[in-house]
Amino acid sequence: MIRLNLILLSICWTASTVLAADFTADLEAADSLVLAFTCKTADLKAEDITFDPELKIKNLIIQGNRAFISLEKPVDIKQNYQIYIHGYGCAPFRLKGALDDFYSGEPLGCLAQDSTTSFALFAPRAEKVQIEIFNPSLTLLYCLQMQETRNGIWKTTVEQDLTGEYYGYRIYGNMSFGELFRPEILIADPYSAAIMTRNDFHHRALTLIIDETFDWNNDSWITIDWLDLLVYEMHIRDLTAHYSSGVPANLRGGYLGLTDTNAIGGINHLKTLGINAVELLPAQEFANIEIPYLVEIDGILNDWNPYARNHWGYMTSGFFAPESYYASDGSLKSGECCGKSGLAVSEFKQMVKALHQAGLAVIMDVVYNHTSQYDYNPLKYIDKKYYYQLDRDNRFLSYSGCGNDLNTSRPMMRRLIIDSLKKWLVDYHIDGFRFDLAAMIDGQTLEDIRDELTMINPQVILIAEPWGGGRYDPAGMSQLGYAAWNDVFRNTIKGQNPSDRRGFIFGELWGGTDLKKLQSLICGYLTAEGGFFQNAKHSLNYLESHDDYTLGDFIRLGLNEISQSDSITDLHSHNKLDAKQMQLNKLAAFILLTAKGPIMLAEGQEYARSKVIAHTSAPDGRIGRIDHNSYEKDNETNWLNYQLMQDNSELADFYRQLIKFRTGHPLLRHSEREQYRFITGSNNLSFGFIISGANNSIIVLYNGSVKETAEFTIQMANLKCGFWRESIKYFENQAKNTLLTLSPSSGCILVAY
């Protein structure tokens, strides 16, 4: 009978569609198993259950569609178990709470000091860990067996300072039932401070042991009240890669390109614009290269990415190391190595130092919710059951839609996240973080991040993308003390779809929007008024990000002056705004920069950048069309072209002047809600507000109608025109009221002293 059951178990694994399980089996403790069935299981008996490897049941309790099994002895978590239940099929154990008992606060990674080099790795289910150490010529120096100590930690020490050498790990474990231990793969240390990678889609990597000493020359974090934040979302490479930036060719597209203070592009452009913070798209070491186009590998056919590239960086491979491609030793030539000398470490710090000297805070976009499907990310091969979200058959889940979802609630995964953030905060002087798909990070981890980072820097900036994995929780992020991207502001003002869901700037209200909701959005979308946020400083207002169409393209498409299928041959004539496009871009900017809350602009938004798919060698049939998802294009589709900026210099100047006005009038940013008095205009798409301060008052008026003028009566004397003065007319009456008329699609600010 036992022999028969073992045969059935084998069949179950190799042909699970024949005996698919009607249940899941979660090991919540080393001696406690919880079964969850798709139906009630009142007839289940202990004798119906067998295990491979063999286990003995101490107690069985049935409650509805769940069964609780106590085992006579704790299981060996290094083994892979399956359970077979007569009539229900079989399922592998999922290691739930049983793995959460493993925790250590010991230092991890590599430490070279006092003529010794120590290594420590967390690998709780490994049966053997081997470390291989190489010299700069990649000649093998040492092959050592590490020793398992306590709580899943493996260690070894070499009586030599190995700074300048490389190393990697081979992880050996039980390979039964589809486990992912792959000792033939040499993996980098997940705590790598510097990484050298091979330029292929596997992103093969070794850890470089590096001296991280850097002269910061008294540099420290920049302190900015969140309500004063003017964030520029930017890609390190995009800002200087184009020759029009004026950055020398050998520095373009890298960290050092952003230290050049003589070029018109890059850091000088940021300073001229007047923003006070940059948000860097992911710059932790990431998988740059995807699988070849139209070549099937491991059952996956890449028929979606002709560039076989990941430009934006949302596939992190090393959470402690800066991306080596942006360093002066970076290269993505096929088959070559990138980051061999580790210059990314010092050059990233030089970039941060230069941005700080320019008065700009540095925020990093960080990805702790998923990793790539294709790369040799060390967490996959150290222990996928510990680090990842898995389905009932222990296969990777991808609710992120981007790859393999991480299990942030695991204690040592939580520690890795926090250790990583602390390193960027302390060693790289990073001022804040934007968390990609933050709703996929468990609440306890988000709380611990907040608590740990604010103990180091009480003014650290914490921004959440408040969705991901099917969850949407901006209100929850605010309750945790995070600012969050306010997509309701974006969709209400700009719209959600340029073809049929346009917003206020197009003279449309949709999705239940009314003037009351618009007023709430202008004041920070507070919970007391039906919004999301406990405090206006949590409402990060924006109209464009790296995702989807640029604001300029959204307006071009929304006005039906171009279609998504049109092929553009003349970039300059396409890019240059006509009068109507200019008016809507100005109105959008005007509303954004007069709203309360931190503000984010996307790179190129200030000149209505259009993302037109560039002519390259990639076999892309969409060349010449407007792009709404340019994540894979390391070319002129994404790079900022400062010559095109000149086509719309009027808009760029408008942004500069409006930013200057906002910066110079704290009343716009720091007024309490009770200081706002809202007024309505003569058409149903016109409204405004008056903020009364101690020494002056500010009046802001908007007319969203694309056809009608809007009249406002202002009961206030001593008005002086502030901004966008060409759009209004004054009429004084005898009652000392002022009648103002705004042309369609316009706005104005007035200051009363």
Q: pLDDT (tens digit, 9 = 90+) per residue, 365-400?
A: 999 999 998 899 999 999 999 999 999 888 999 999
- Residues 253 and 636: their CA atoms lie apart, in Å, by 12
Q: pLDDT (tens digit, 9 = 90+) per residue, 426-473?
A: 999 999 999 999 999 999 999 999 999 999 999 999 999 999 999 999
Residues 80 and 166 in one domain: no
Assigned token pair, 606: 């200030």
Residues 81 and 156 in one domain: no
Residues 84 and 119 in one domain: no
Task: Say if 442 falls within a structural domain.
Answer: no
Q: What percent of the chain has pLDDT over 90?
A: 86
Mean pLDDT of 405-434: 98
Pairing of strands 128-134, 166-172: antiparallel
Assigned token pair, 649: 């210099």
Task: Say if 26 falls within a structural domain.
Answer: yes
Q: pLDDT (tens digit, 9 = 90+) per residue, 3-58?
A: 333 333 333 433 333 345 789 999 999 999 999 998 877 788 999 999 999 999 99
Q: What is the DSSP letter of 731?
A: E
Task: Say if 194 falls within a structural domain.
Answer: yes
Q: Which of 74, 99, 124 is the last residue of a domain?
A: 99
CATH number at residue 731: 2.60.40.1180
Secondary structure in 3-state letters for 85-110: ECCCEEEEEEECHHHCCCCCCCCCEE
Confidence class of residue 615 from pLDDT cuts 50, 70 and 90? very high
Q: pLDDT (tens digit, 9 = 90+) per residue, 542-600?
A: 999 999 999 999 999 999 999 999 999 999 999 999 999 999 999 999 999 999 999 99
pLDDT reading at 729 higher than 70:
no
User: How many CA atoms within 13 Å lie on the side-chain side of 8?
Assistant: 20
Pairing of strands 728-732, 738-742: antiparallel
Residues 55 and 133 in one domain: no
- pLDDT in the model for residue 114: 86
Counting Cβ atoms within 10 Å, is residue 103 exposed (0-12), middle (13-18) or buried (19+)? middle
Task: Say if 85 falls within a structural domain.
Answer: yes
Cα 244 → chain centroid: 28
- Residues 187 and 375: their CA atoms lie apart, in Å, by 10
Residues 143 and 170 in one domain: yes
Confidence class of residue 172 from pLDDT cuts 50, 70 and 90? very high
Q: What is the DSSP letter of 30?
A: T
Cα 541 → chain centroid: 17
- pLDDT in the model for residue 118: 98
Residue 655 contacts residue 606 (beta carbons within 8 Å)? yes
| pTM score, whole prediction | 0.95
Confidence class of residue 175 from pLDDT cuts 50, 70 and 90? confident
Assigned token pair, 4: 């028969």
User: What crossing angle do the helices spanning 411-427 and 378-387 adopt, rounded to 10°?
Assistant: 130
- Provide the residue type at 61 as one letter: I
- Residues 690 and 677: their CA atoms lie apart, in Å, by 5
pLDDT reading at 330 higher than 50:
yes
Q: What is the DSSP letter of 166?
A: E
Distance linking the first and last C-alpha atoms of the chain? 94
- pLDDT in the model for residue 17: 36
- pLDDT in the model for residue 733: 54
- pLDDT in the model for residue 341: 96
- Among 459, 454, 464, 406, which residue's Cα sits nearest to residue 433? 464
Task: Say if 467 falls within a structural domain.
Answer: no
Q: pLDDT (tens digit, 9 = 90+) per residue, 88-142?
A: 899 999 998 999 999 999 999 999 988 999 999 999 999 999 999 999 999 999 9
- Residues 361 and 369: their CA atoms lie apart, in Å, by 25
Cα 91 → chain centroid: 35
- pLDDT in the model for residue 2: 36
Counting Cβ atoms within 10 Å, is residue 150 exposed (0-12), middle (13-18) or buried (19+)? exposed
CATH number at residue 168: 2.60.40.10
Give CA torsion, residues 621, 623, 626, 627, to 10 deg. 70
Task: Say if 628 falls within a structural domain.
Answer: no
- Among 436, 184, 162, which residue's Cα sits nearest to residue 314? 436
Distances from the Cα of 253 to the Cα of 248, 265, 268, 338, angstroms: 10, 11, 15, 15
Task: Say if 69 falls within a structural domain.
Answer: yes
Residues 93 and 123 in one domain: no
Distances from the Cα of 669 to the Cα of 260, 525, 628, 686, angstroms: 32, 14, 32, 22
Residues 84 and 131 in one domain: no
- pLDDT in the model for residue 728: 65
- pLDDT in the model for residue 528: 95
Residues 117 and 93 in one domain: no
Residues 123 and 64 in one domain: no
Q: Is the link from the previous residue into 53 a cis peptide, with omega within 30 of 0?
A: yes
- pLDDT in the model for residue 718: 72
**What are 94's strand-pairing partners?**
26
Residues 85 and 117 in one domain: no
Counting Cβ atoms within 10 Å, is residue 220 exposed (0-12), middle (13-18) or buried (19+)? exposed
Residue 36 contacts residue 66 (beta carbons within 8 Å)? yes
- pLDDT in the model for residue 298: 83
Residue 70 contacts residue 59 (beta carbons within 8 Å)? yes
Mean pLDDT of 399-421: 96
Q: Which of 99, 124, 159 is the last residue of a domain?
A: 99
3-state helix, strand, coil in the chain (%, to 5): 25, 30, 45
Residues 740 and 707 in one domain: yes
Q: Which of 156, 185, 208 is the last residue of a domain?
A: 208
Residues 689 and 737 in one domain: yes
Rounded to 5 degrees, what angle do the CA atoms 456, 461, 462 make?
100
pLDDT reading at 727 higher than 70:
no
Task: Say if 412 falls within a structural domain.
Answer: no
Count of structural domains, the chain = 3
Confidence class of residue 309 from pLDDT cuts 50, 70 and 90? very high
Q: pLDDT (tens digit, 9 = 90+) per residue, 476-512?
A: 999 999 999 999 999 999 999 999 899 999 999 987 7
| Site of tokens 């910066």 | 663
Residue 742 lies in domain? 673-752
| Backbone angles phi and psi of 282, in degrees to 5 | -45, 130
CATH number at residue 58: 2.60.40.1130
Task: Look over the chain and give the mean of its residue pLDDT values, rounded to a whole number.
Answer: 93
- pLDDT in the model for residue 20: 57
Residue 356 contacts residue 362 (beta carbons within 8 Å)? yes
